[in-house]
Structure 1
């Protein structure tokens, strides 16, 4: 394909952007692939980390630190989402993927299949196989309102013997915020088969519409009894490298089982991560930082939607309802690897949809400084128009 190669070399990028994983994996390209923000870190979190360093407390976590973290998570779940969970029912893991692996290891019997609605965050498709659990992919549907789970397909997979459904709520990569009605319907299906749900809710604070996030475990007692919820402050407050995520147990028997193995997993949790978690959830200035960041993300989401609608013929985008991830339908471009096309000819690095079991799509991280995002969209638009002319 005879397209020009565009390079952003020489752009005045913020220092944090040029040093981040977003930028360094693909030198010379605008990084819009991995799910971390190029929008900085709040002052309360910075101060919490500096305070630990000044106090010389860079060693292992201690029971007091972990208990403060548990209490902070418990308060936030209640205050923000109406989910009542005791601090003792909050478990610590290094990250959501490690928590997912722990659930596979301790809550499923050998060889039991895992249902993964697709498109899906890549580790949900690959990690079960590493633990001997077959993956049953259930492709979702697309319509005027965007992505939807195929509930009938999930029902069939559970009827065939699968024992765990992976729910990503809000959804990565499509940015959907599932409605209470959708979640309740899933709960009835899972409950009828006496199966489980692993609910990844790491993007919960990143709502881009007026709709309030609804934890899956909140929709009914039935859902609470068969759910293990994974969460973290890492996406909303941009602290993924600090390794501090949580599993929330809304079944007393699941919580009791976790307590038999919890000491092993808490060893992998960073003390700095717990300090950042408490600052994010407890400090007013951290909440204000998140509110300002959400304002920018909503604006950026609109920028992506406008660019696609006005300047990218052959590309479609249903604006994200949550997260900072845009799931762009590039199937009409007629190329096998659209992300590779954009990386080579627009110098914009994104994820291939095929990595999420969604070939023909790309996932664009729009948590970028506005001028950087504008340059990325302009370069992508030039490539799309050229492709559609050929």
Structure 2
């Protein structure tokens, strides 16, 4: 591993050099030419946690690669949620789904009707914009408020959209791409509005294990409110333990939503991957020491990114995320148009996730994935800065 500076932690984020990462077959490292430094899609440059890797090697060794069943995964998740969040849920009521997005599609198909309105806070995870219309529902953009202290829910606008006839609210918490962790007071306000207007709440809590010190994840379904009892949560180990390609997630019902989740067809569950189930069970059971080491490295990188931007690109707006490993950068002051990521890809050899794909509030923004070594975070910012001064594209040597 080359390089010795810029926030080196010695943890999982520093395990691989650039050549090893470029040998990967995942979309992060195969989407762009090799001279491009990718900091776009939500994938981490880490090895697997050792207990997960050992379990997968053992499974492959015994040829355990058949159709998936949930096995011990619901129990493992329920125990993790109780330890981590104080949320107690019944594992017998949890159903296996292939991934969080597939689970959202299945749940919305069960609890809403064709033509129904589904409210989504924007900027929003890009696949929402594809899948919600694809199942015949109308996506209603409900922009978050951008304040000097960061993004927050616009409860007045949310009430207007609920009152206008919304059937469901798809809540992403912790929020992608802003990294905001919505507090209990706001979540209780959402629950009150949902109860008042008969709106079903479906929550994407895939980033819940990735919350930094100073913030606390509050599971929506754990709130003491009727709308929370009727809510359905989608959860997965995929983001926190870098398992997205293995395909396994869970639909977790509130107390009054068990019958809805029970209607998820077994064919849907069989779309999950058995290796994903095995890896996820181990993650929730034995993966917390690795997770804590990862979070320490990510915490260092979010601070490093702030220092780098302040020094090299001070015009860029940056609120350190409260969770996730994704930074939502306000690049509007640079005058690069609606899609500044295109500029940095073309002129700086750095691939960020284009802001407009997150909805109208994403114009002039881009998402930066800092789940890599501190050296590569530094390299990406240096390339971005050099692209604005006409300097040569820096070599990705770290």
Same fold, judged at TM 0.5 (above): yes
* Contact kept in structure 2, 1:312 and 1:385, CA below 8 Å: no
What is the RMSD of the two structures over their aligned residues, measured on CA atoms?
A: 1.7
Q: Which residue of 2 aligns with 1:323?
A: 324
What is the CA distance between 1:18 and its match in structure 2? 4.2
Alignment of 1:76-155 (within 5 A): 76-155=80-159
Structure 1 runs not aligned, ≥5 long: 1-10
Distance of 1:384 and 1:146 partners within structure 2: 26
Alignment of 1:256-295 (within 5 A): 256-283=259-286, 286-295=287-296
Aligned-partner SS, 1:316: coil
1:22 aligned residue (23, 28, 53)? 28
Distance of 1:183 and 1:261 partners within structure 2: 26
Distance of 1:367 and 1:234 partners within structure 2: 14
Q: Which residue of 2 aligns with 1:7?
A: none
Aligned-partner SS, 1:163: strand
**Cα deviation per residue 1:131-162 (whole Å; 9 max; x = unaligned)?**
11111111111112200111111111111111
Aligned-partner SS, 1:92: strand
**Cα deviation per residue 1:230-269 (whole Å; 9 max; x = unaligned)?**
11000000000000001100134x3223323331211101
Distance of 1:37 and 1:170 partners within structure 2: 17
Q: Which residue of 1 aligns with 2:165?
A: 161
Distance of 1:85 and 1:75 partners within structure 2: 9
Q: Which residue of 1 aligns with 2:76?
A: 72
* 1:301–1:42 distance in 2 versus 1, CA, 3 Å: same
Q: How many residues align?
A: 371
Q: Which residue of 1 aligns with 2:385?
A: 381
In the alignment, does 2:237 pair up with 1:233? yes
Distance of 1:384 and 1:178 partners within structure 2: 35
Distance of 1:94 and 1:290 partners within structure 2: 23
What is the CA distance between 1:226 and its match in structure 2? 2.7
Distance of 1:319 and 1:386 partners within structure 2: 28
* Contact kept in structure 2, 1:67 and 1:87, CA below 8 Å: no
Aligned-partner SS, 2:115: coil
What is the CA distance between 1:211 and its match in structure 2? 2.1
Distance of 2:389 and 2:171 partners within structure 1: 36
* 1:386–1:205 distance in 2 versus 1, CA, 3 Å: same
Distance of 2:368 and 2:263 partners within structure 1: 40
Q: Which residue of 2 aligns with 1:347?
A: 349
**Greater Cα offset, 220-229 or 347-356:** 220-229
- After the TM superposition, list the runs of 4 or more consecutive aligned residues in structure 1 that deviate by more than 3 angstroms: 384-387
2:210 aligned residue (206, 210, 222)? 206
What is the CA distance between 1:17 and its match in structure 2? 4.8
**Cα deviation per residue 1:146-187 (whole Å; 9 max; x = unaligned)?**
001111111111111111111110000001011111111111
